[in-house]
Chain A
């Protein structure tokens, strides 16, 4: 087989393998949207609670819906029609729009009304009580409410079910117009919808949202009624949609930019294709490894992974630019390989540090990059040269290269530059006021701020409880918690009376403890007693003698009922309300007391202190800040470890501390400079900036290593300059596109990397080979 045919066969097999694995991954890959993967690992039970609430608690499944654009009547009609349709759709578990529906209590729960309602705490179903109730019912029948109440009266003459429904209304409700919830200004009808799909399942959320929109189209009473949906699920769909749209656009622009750049640099179509092969290999190998090791891959891992793996694009460029005419590529590559291998090994070893960061998403990212970059490096060394032609021109020869070399030689250099710059950067970081780090967990989500503000505003309108303070009661069983909550009610009522809080809500409001239910059950009369009391109470009233037999039967049934428990409310509307307030975790139970409008946190602190450990006050804001700070410390340690490992690899590879120092200095200085510039611009640093900095440092290391290698040979220096100009231009093209993204996170990464690449390139020129360059240009 001729070498030409061999090369063609290799290219064919390589390309086919990439395509095959891409297809397999496309078919098999499970992409997760669980935000926790990129959030810090929890250490305390409060932190764990916080993260679970963020990602899978019922609160995370809530979609807040606002209907606007028409008059109140039209909005209310739409709200009711929409709610009716959504209630019939299994994709939604709970739909609340303020309607108080008598038929919303399932038949199985009806006899429980005497155990759940507080009526029997202060009254008995005796003659006196029944007399006053029946008199009121007779009057009801002669009032306009008759048609509404008539069907209920034979079975429920005390209207217990109406009392229960009123008691189950949220403790702090939005205003009602035309019988449904409205915002304070009365311009938006509000609904709360809980999806069956978890918040971090973007596909499930997408389906639920599509259904919600379809139901809305069907239910809207006027064409001008508009729908706004917000909430964690809507965010995950929004983010997926926008990142996909941005990624598609970026992909097209990047590809076009790279093709133009490669054609300009190497003037051969073949090299455009060859340059893409190691990158594609890196992506496929990285993704396959992560999928095999972790099972699912986070959407953000894929997005960030493909961003970071862009370093692999540089590997073929180093090969191409350093090629010499007439030298077989497999021979030529040996000259470049030690430097390239050092670069690949250093960055791979540095990424290993992320494996111990304690953040699963970062560990995935590390795994993706280590395997991806290693395979790209090996492919560039052992496969790519077999496809390259030896009939090339010397990329070190040319007017542009000569001018660039002259420019580099003429650059002003000073031994003071590095220390002065470092000091200035440190001074900026220390002296410029403003928070260096972002501590707000909410801001660490990639969701744009306007969307978060809209969500917060709707939450507030809906009277959602305080998101900072909560009381937690731990216990060994659900019933123990319910009993403790009932005991706590007195103190909480006192806190409401003293205006320390405005409202509170807990599971026992909906589901009384077994003891309370048994006490009420014991207060129910026997069938004979009830019949006798009824007969006396009905005297003088117009009711038919046998009318209340269904009532007598229900009371008899209630006397034999076992108390309703957290387990037995499953599948009823009560499960939804108690589910978020009563949580089971590893055989322990946690009861949450949500508070609204907390005005005196100190009163809550002393309430918790007086409970002898039964009740604890959760400060979720503090907990989340602790969590973020904790995560940052771990990540910074990881970065420090990465830097040490990287420096170690460079020292070993170059076998000289002085040379290693010259290579590492531009990278360290650039990182400092980027941090200082971001801080001076008022940007609070997040995980995303750190990731961008690490990428820029990885690219900078390559630049410095190749500059350092070329410092003794002017011809090679020009070839290296050619390679590094192409590399830096490529990075700037790719990350400028990212920097123009609509997503703040992508913008942050893009801008940071462009700053880092520019800094690394310029500082490598200024700091790495001052004397040799001067000598080289002098000999020209």
Chain B
């Protein structure tokens, strides 16, 4: 009886949601790859969200660049653990991911997604998938307790082989919603949480 149930389980999984490894394989992009993004930051420090738009560049397994084009210019480049932040009107700042494990894990998850590194992703996160192939949601929960105290979860939502929206949930009601690819093509009508959440559906 028990044996029979066990053999049924994977089959049941197949029916409910797409296979994680298959999905990750589909999400992988060869470097270099570029996508536009629109990002909204909802922070308890702020009275209204900060919305920035620009492009994301995947330069290779260990390198990412994020260029803000509106409402101001700023470029962040991450190579390995070294981060360089260049902003108009001030000299470049350098810092390291070493002191910000949560940031390291955040950027690490991006890189792992883009390179299709399922094993790397599983090392850092518990993965949970829901929905179907046409519209899926991949939830990443940090395994490390220290990282989890800073990042509650990262939810990637997408359709077929294309991610649309990455929502990072942090403590103190801090949330970052980043729209990518097609979802980022039209500018947001206003900095409204409901609108952003709608795009992720």
Contacts and interface: CB of A to CB of B under 8 A. Distances in A.
B102 A542 contact: no
Interface string A36-48: 0000000000000
A543 B74 contact: no
Contact of B81 (A100, A144, A150, A179): A179
A542 B47 contact: yes
B43 A150 contact: yes
Contact of B74 (A101, A139, A544): A139
Contacts of A142: 39, 41, 50, 52, 68
Contacts of A141: 41, 43, 45-46, 50
Nearest to A153: B45
B83 interface: yes
Interface residues of B, number: 37
Contact of A147 (B76, B78, B82, B100): B100
Contacts of A146: 41, 43
A158 to B, nearest CB: 13
A276 to B, nearest CB: 63
Contacts of B170: 147
B92 interface: no
Interface string B81-111: 1110101001001011011101100110000
A115 B201 CA distance: 52
B87 A136 contact: yes
Contacts of A80: 98
Nearest to B102: A147
Given A148-B100, A179-B99, 19 more contacts: A99-B98, A100-B99, A139-B74, A139-B87, A143-B76, A143-B85, A144-B66, A144-B76, A144-B85, A145-B76, A146-B41, A147-B106, A147-B150, A148-B103, A154-B45, A178-B80, A178-B81, A178-B96, A179-B81
A547 interface: yes
Interface string B134-160: 000000000000000010000000000
Interface in A237-256: none
Interface in B118-137: none
Interface string A525-564: 0000000000000000011110100000000000000000
Looking at A138, A153, A179, which has the most chain B CB atoms within 10 Å of its CB? A179
Given A99-B98, A136-B90, A139-B72, A144 B103 contact: yes
A551 to B, nearest CB: 13
Contacts of B44: 544
22 contacts: A138-B50, A141-B50, A142-B50, A142-B68, A143-B85, A144-B66, A144-B76, A145-B83, A145-B93, A146-B41, A147-B106, A150-B43, A150-B45, A150-B174, A179-B81, A179-B99, A542-B48, A542-B49, A542-B50, A543-B45, A543-B46, A547-B45
A109 interface: no
Contacts of B85: 143-145
A144 B107 contact: yes
Nearest to B44: A544
A131 to B, nearest CB: 13
Contacts of A145: 76, 83, 85, 93, 95, 103
Interface of A: 80, 99-102, 136, 138-139, 141-148, 150, 153-154, 178-179, 542-545, 547
Contacts of A148: 95, 99-100, 103
A178 B98 contact: yes
A632 B131 CA distance: 89
Contacts of B93: 145
A528 B102 CA distance: 38
Nearest to A545: B47
A542 B74 contact: no
A144 B83 contact: yes
B130 to A, nearest CB: 27
A237 to B, nearest CB: 32
Nearest to A180: B98
Contacts of B99: 99-102, 148, 179
Nearest to B81: A178
Contacts of A543: 45-47
Contacts of B66: 144
* Smallest CB-CB A-B distances: 7 pairs: A179-B96, A179-B98, A142-B50, A542-B46, A148-B100, A542-B48, A142-B52
A312 B48 CA distance: 93
A148 B76 CA distance: 14
Contacts of A136: 87, 90
A526 B103 CA distance: 38
B87 A544 contact: no
A668 B170 CA distance: 87
Most chain A beta carbons < 10 A, residue from B45, B49, B52, B106: B45
A147 B103 contact: yes
Nearest to A145: B85
A85 to B, nearest CB: 16
Contacts of B103: 144-145, 147-148
A15 to B, nearest CB: 66
B111 to A, nearest CB: 13
A89 B191 CA distance: 50
B109 to A, nearest CB: 13
Nearest to A101: B99
A141 B47 CA distance: 13
Contacts of A101: 99
Nearest to B172: A150
Contacts of B150: 147
Contacts of B82: 179
B74 A143 contact: yes
Contacts of A179: 81-82, 96, 98-99
A100 B48 CA distance: 33
A142 B68 CA distance: 10
Contacts of B90: 136
Contacts of B102: 147
Contacts of A139: 72, 74, 87
A143 B78 CA distance: 12
Most chain B beta-carbon contacts within 10 A, residue among A80, A101, A146, A547: A146
Interface in B27-58: 39, 41, 43-50, 52
Contacts of B78: 144
A692 B181 CA distance: 84
Nearest to A102: B99
A153 B45 CA distance: 9
B105 to A, nearest CB: 10
A544 B49 CA distance: 11
Contacts of B106: 144, 147
A136 B74 CA distance: 11
B67 to A, nearest CB: 11
A148 B83 CA distance: 12
Contacts of A144: 66, 76, 78, 83, 85, 103, 106-107
A148 B103 CA distance: 8
A550 to B, nearest CB: 12
A139 B80 CA distance: 23
